[in-house]
Amino acid sequence: MEDEKHGEAHGMISDEIGQDVLKRIFFITERVIVFDGLDDVFEHIVKTSVMLTKAEAATIRVFDINTGKLAIVKGYGLSTGFLSQPPIKLGEGITGRVVLEGKPFSTEDVTTVPHCVHKELAKLEGIRAVMSVPLKTRENTIGCITVYRKQAEPFADHEMLLLNIFASQATEAVEKTRLLEELKKQAMFDPLTGVYNKNAILRELDAKIESARRHGYNTSIVFIDIDDFKKFNDTHGHLLGDKFLADFATLVKKCCRKGDLVGRFGGEEFLVIAPHTDKEGALKLAEKLRDAVSKHEFIGRDGYVHATLSAGVSSVPEDGLGMTDVLKKADDAMYQSKRSGKNCVTAAMSSNSLH
């Protein structure tokens, strides 16, 4: 009779666990469409993993294509010292093996595991029991979820099973969010130069002008055209022309300040937005760009070549309160630079140029 009661109670507990886990899996599946970004996804994964397994802490490691290593991208319930440990190679340590082999791992005492590479960190953190499961797509393994307990209490088989089920949903959430972020990036950025595309930079300009009007501060723009770019293309070919544009955009970004925005307006035309900057400040920025470009060595067919730019500068509110007016003033000023012999900067409504 007691065995029957025990069996019934065990069944009830299992049912309760199963229902709870299904609710959590359903929650993360549904929530994929409202995540703010990958960081939000990662935070949800580690917190849910802890609740799911009755662990005290969790981390998620993801393979970085640039470094070829696994880095901790989010943690919960762990010290900064533990979370700041360096990335590991595939096959290195417990988590490295989990990702390389695509198989889960569990131990009640991580300090006794021979291939654990961070035993001292684990001891300092007070970690004993560890369970790690891979994040597997159809093609490969992209990382792993690892949960931790500070007692030598092994994770149960059903907890391993449930974390594996959850990992499948978590992987889908990561992949979908990555895809959405990539699509957003493609919609905003010029694929050749990596700066904002025309539509995106115009949206940013409209927003910056509106903010400047509302709060009563200056915002300026620098409208740039590369001098004789068609001639460069004809002489050196379109492949090196693309390389030129990519290097030019990189150089412009390097010369700009942290808060400045750079966009490709079209062809060889670029636009720089300088918030909280008056016309004098924008002229200095434009001259800095002109000087840097004139000194830079771009790759040509038979060696390095030099290039120049022509630029026009306009400001809010001095040259207008609307995007159309400010853009036209900067564009007109840029063409005045062209008429003045190129390789110069002209302020809107002014014939003064900096050579």
pLDDT in tens, 197-255: 999 999 999 999 999 999 999 999 999 999 999 999 999 999 999 999 999 999 999 99
pLDDT in tens, 29-50: 555 456 778 999 999 999 999 9
pLDDT in tens, 173-183: 899 888 888 88
H helix runs in 157-225, sequence order: 157-188, 198-215
pLDDT in tens, 108-122: 999 999 999 889 999
**52/233 Cα distance (integer angstroms):** 60
**42/55 Cα distance (integer angstroms):** 17
Of 267, 266, 194, the C-alpha closest to 233 is 267
Cβ-based neighbours of 221, under 8 Å, separated by 6 or more: 205, 271, 272, 273, 274, 282, 313, 314, 315, 326, 327, 330
CA of residue 257 relative to chain centroid, distance: 19
Measured CA distances, 337 to 106, 194, 245, 354 (Å): 69, 27, 20, 9
How would you class 239 by CB atoms within 10 Å of its CB: exposed for 0-12, middle for 13-18, buried for 19 or more?
exposed
Rounded to the nearest integer, the mean pLDDT of the chain is 89
Give domain limits for the chain.
Answer: 2-186, 198-354
Of 62, 54, 30, 58, the C-alpha closest to 45 is 58
CB-CB neighbours of 77 under 10 Å:
17
**What per-residue confidence (pLDDT) applies to 299?**
93
Region 2-186: CATH code: 3.30.450.40
In this structure, are residues 345 and 335 in contact, taking their beta carbons and an 8 Å threshold? no
Cβ-based neighbours of 36, under 8 Å, separated by 6 or more: none
CATH topology for 198-354 is Alpha-Beta Plaits (3.30.70)
Buried/exposed 39-54: b ≥16 CB within 10 Å, e otherwise: eebbbbbbebbbebbe
pLDDT in tens, 127-153: 999 999 999 998 899 999 999 999 989
**What per-residue confidence (pLDDT) applies to 21?**
60
Answer whether residue 354 shows pLDDT above 80.
no
Answer whether residue 329 shows pLDDT above 60.
yes
